[in-house]
Amino acid sequence: MQFFGGSEINPSPQVPTASGNNAHMMYVFNRNGVCLLYKEWNRLLHTLNPQQDHKLMFGLLFSLKSLTAKMDPVNADKGNLGVPQLPGQGCSFHSFRTNTYKLSFMETPSGIKIILVTHPKTGDLRESLKYIYGLYVEYVVKNPIYNPGFPIKSELFNTALDQYVRSIS
Is position 49 an interface residue for another protein (rule: CB under 8 A)?
Answer: no
Instruction: Name the nearest CA neighbour of 108 among 75, 132, 84.
Output: 132
Among 64, 135, 137, 160, binds another protein (CB under 8 A): 64
| Local structure of residue 142 (DSSP, 8 states) | T
Is position 98 an interface residue for another protein (rule: CB under 8 A)?
Answer: yes
Query: Shortest Cβ distance from residue 1 to another protein (Å)?
Result: 5
Is position 57 an interface residue for another protein (rule: CB under 8 A)?
Answer: yes
Residue type, 120: P
Which residue stretch of 55-63, 106-114, 130-138, 156-164 sits at the interface with another protein (rule: CB under 8 A)?
55-63
Is position 24 an interface residue for another protein (rule: CB under 8 A)?
Answer: yes
Q: In what order do the strands lie in the sheet with 35-40?
A: 35-40, 23-29, 113-118, 102-107
Q: How far is CA 44 from CA 24, 25, 40, 41, 159, in A?
A: 9, 11, 10, 10, 22
Judged by beta carbon, residue 107 or residue 134, the one nearer another protein is 107
DSSP 3-state of 105? strand
Is position 25 an interface residue for another protein (rule: CB under 8 A)?
Answer: yes
Is position 141 an interface residue for another protein (rule: CB under 8 A)?
Answer: no
Q: Are 58 and 35 contacting, i.e. CB atoms less than 8 angstroms apart?
A: yes
DSSP 3-state of 35? strand
Is position 74 an interface residue for another protein (rule: CB under 8 A)?
Answer: yes
Contact positions vs another protein (CB under 8 A): 1-2, 24-25, 42-45, 47-48, 53, 56-57, 59-60, 63-64, 66-68, 70-76, 78, 81, 91-101, 103, 117
